[in-house]
Amino acid sequence: MKVRTRLVAAFTYIIVVVVVTFEIPLAINLQRRAVSDVKSQALQNALIIAAQTGVERTLRPIVLQEWVYANFPHQENGRVIVVDPQGTLIADSLGSQNLGQQYTNTGRPELQTVIATHAPTSEIRYSNTLRQEILVAAAPILDGGTFYGAVRRTWGMGEVQNHVRRVILGLIAIGLAALIAGLVIAFALAGSLSRPLTRLAAAAKRLGGGDLSARTGEKAGASEIVELSDSFDEMATLLQSTVKAQREFVANASHQLRTPLTGMKLRIESAIDASESDDQRHQLEAADKEVDRLAEIVERLLVMARRIEQGGGAEIDLRESAVAALGRWEERASRLGARLFAKSEGVGAIGDRADIDQILDNLIDNAIAYAPGPIVIETGLVGRLVFLAVEDRGPGIVPDDRQRVTERFYRGKRAPAGGSGLGLAIVRELAEKWGGSVTVSAPAEGGTRVEVHLRPAGRAEDPAPLPPLRQDGTTVESS
C-alpha cells in the first residue's frame, strides 16, 4: 500500500472517530433540547389559547363550544378541550358528543395538576385512548386570581419526531461536510508528504539502475524530507566520484597491465622458440602459462569493474512537566476558585513529553471543574515505578464508580452535567501506551486522588520539592 493511501486512510479514521465522538453526545443533547423546545412551545400555545378563551366564553358554554369548534378544527396531530373548575368537559374541538363528561382522572394527569395548582404544565406521555405517545400541554383560565377552568391541547408525536429528525439530519449533514472537507485536506496533505518521497524513490531507482547523475533536488516540504533528500544527493555525489575513480583506475590498469603482459608473453614465446634444452623449454612454457593466467585474472578484474560501474521513548523529567503544568493552569484555576500546589521530586519516566502534558492537563482540568479548592500536583517514586498524581478536596467519587471512571463515556453517579466522560479514559490510554497504569482513590482527608504510574528512567539528582502557589499565583517557600 502506498504512503499516500496509508496517510489518507489514517486521516479518514481520525476524522471519523473525532466526528462520531463529538456528534453522538451532541446529538443526544440536541435531541433533549429539541424535545424541551417543543414542550415549551406547546405550553406557550396552551397559555395563548387560555388567554383567548377568557372568562366570558368560559361562562357561556354554548358560545365557547362554537368558538373552539370553529377555531381549532380536529386534526390528526391536535385536539383542544376546555374543562370547568370541577374537571367537567365544556368544550371540545372534536365536537359536542362528549360534553358534560368528567375529564379529571388518572388518564389525564395534566388536568389534575392544573386544577390542583392553577399552574400550566406540559409533558410527553402515553395515551391509553390513542395507544401512542402524545405531547400534551394544559393551562389555567384565570381572571383576577379566580380559577375558571383549564385548557388542554394535545399533539401527536409526529410533530415532535419531525423536529428531532430535522435536528439529527442537520447534525449528519454537518458531520458529512466535515468528513468531506477533512478528506480533501487529508488528500492534499498526504500528497504534499508523499510526493517528495515518490521523487526520492524514483531518484534512488535511477541511481540503482546506473544513472549516477540522478538527484532529488528536493528543497521544499518538511524539514525531515529536505534533510533526507540532501543526504541522498550527497551520497549520490560521493558514489559518482567513487565510480569515476574506479573508471580511471580501470582505464589505467588496462593500459599499464595489458601492455607489459603482452610484451612479456612475446618474449617468452621467442625464448621458447630459441630454446635448445628440453628442461629450459619446459620452464619457459610453464612461465608462458602463468602469464596467460595472469592476463586472465586482469581481464576478470576489468569485467568485474565494468559490472560494478553498470551495475524507544525519551526520558521525561516529571518535575519539569509539573512546573509547566502549573504555569499553564494557574490563571484558570485562580478564576474558578482553585489553588494549585505541587509536591514534586525530580524523577524521570519513559514516555513522550506531549503525552505527559496531556495527562496532567486532563487531570488538572477535571479537578478544577469538579472540585474547586486546593489541588495538589505530586510526582515521585513508589516501589519500582515513578508516579504523577493530582489530588483534590472535592466531593469525591463513590466507590462503585472508581473502577469505571476511566472507561470511555462513563459518567459517575455524582458527575455534574456537561462532561463527556473521556478525560480519565484518555489519561488511562496514554499511561498504558507507555506501559503504565492509572488508579483512582479517596484520600483520608476527602476528595479524589488520581495517580498515574509509569516506567522509571532514573532519578534526577535534585529531588527538591517545588514551591507551592498562593491563590494569587505567586510562589511561597514550602515548610
Name the CATH topology of 3-162.
Beta-Lactamase (3.30.450)
What integer best gives the mean pLDDT of the chain?
Answer: 78
Band the pLDDT of 82: cuts 50, 70, 90: very high
**pLDDT tens-digit series, residues 247-261:** 677 666 665 777 787
DSSP character at residue 307: H
Q: What is the pLDDT of residue 14?
A: 84
* Average pLDDT rounded to a whole number, residues 261-278: 83
> Cα 374 to chain center, whole Å?
30
Q: How far is CA 155 from CA 101, 135, 164, in A?
A: 21, 5, 15
Q: What percent of the chain has pLDDT over 90?
A: 4
**pLDDT tens-digit series, residues 10-29:** 778 888 888 778 778 877 88
First to last CA, the chain: 61
Q: What is the pLDDT of residue 414?
A: 61
**pLDDT tens-digit series, residues 184-200:** 887 777 777 777 777 77
Q: How far is CA 170 from CA 160, 183, 414, in A?
A: 15, 20, 32
Q: Which of 86-90, 94-98, 213-217, 472-476 has the lowest mean pLDDT?
A: 472-476
Q: Which residues pair with 335 in a beta bridge?
A: none
Per-position DSSP letters for 441-479, written without gaps between them: E--TTSSEEEEEEE-EEEE-S--PPPPPB-TTS-B----
- Domain regions of the chain by residue span: 3-162, 223-310, 317-459
Q: What is the pLDDT of residue 255?
A: 59
- Which residues, at least 6 apart from 148, have a Cβ–Cβ distance to it below 8 Å? 55, 58, 59, 84, 85, 141, 142
Cβ contact 23:175 at 8 Å: yes
Q: Which of 304-313, 410-419, 431-440 has the lowest mean pLDDT?
A: 304-313
Per-position DSSP letters for 124-177, written without gaps between them: EEEETTTTEEEEEEEEEEEETTEEEEEEEEEEEHHHHHHHHHHHHHHHHHHHHH
Class of domain 223-310: mainly alpha
The x, y and z cell numbers of residue 401, run together, are 464508580
- Which residues, at least 6 apart from 48, have a Cβ–Cβ distance to it below 8 Å? none
Taking each helix axis from N to C end, the angle separating 278-310 and 223-274, rounded to the nearest 10 degrees, works out to 160
Q: What is the pLDDT of residue 139?
A: 92
- Which residues, at least 6 apart from 396, have a Cβ–Cβ distance to it below 8 Å? 442, 446, 447, 448
Give the chain's largest Cα–Cα span.
160
Cβ contact 336:368 at 8 Å: yes
Q: What is the pLDDT of residue 452?
A: 92
User: Strand 374-382 to strand 339-344: parallel, antiparallel, or no bridges (unpaired)?
Assistant: parallel
Band the pLDDT of 224: cuts 50, 70, 90: confident
Instruction: Give the CATH number of domain 317-459.
Output: 3.30.565.10
Q: What percent of the chain has pLDDT over 70?
A: 82
C-alpha–C-alpha distance, residues 281 and 326, integer Å? 99
Asked whether residue 478 carries a pLDDT value surpassing 50, the answer given is: no
Q: What is the pLDDT of residue 138?
A: 92
Which of 193, 222, 226, 225 lies closest to 11 in space, CA to CA?
193
Asked whether residue 50 carries a pLDDT value surpassing 60, the answer given is: yes
C-alpha–C-alpha distance, residues 185 and 177, integer Å? 12
C-alpha–C-alpha distance, residues 223 and 208, integer Å? 25
Kindly tell me the burial class for residue 454, based on how many C-beta atoms sit within 10 Å of its own C-beta (0-12, 13-18, 19 or more): buried
**pLDDT tens-digit series, residues 381-397:** 888 889 999 998 888 88
* Average pLDDT rounded to a whole number, residues 166-193: 80
DSSP character at residue 78: B
Q: What is the pLDDT of residue 251?
A: 60
Q: How far is CA 17 from CA 12, 234, 405, 423, 467, in A?
A: 9, 42, 21, 16, 41
* Average pLDDT rounded to a whole number, residues 416-436: 75
- Which residues, at least 6 apart from 274, have a Cβ–Cβ distance to it below 8 Å? none
Which of 163, 175, 140, 154 lies closest to 58 in space, CA to CA?
140
3-state SS, residue 411 = coil
Higher pLDDT, 243 or 356: 356
3-state SS, residue 98 = coil
The x, y and z cell numbers of residue 271, run together, are 625464448
Asked whether residue 228 carries a pLDDT value surpassing 70, the answer given is: yes
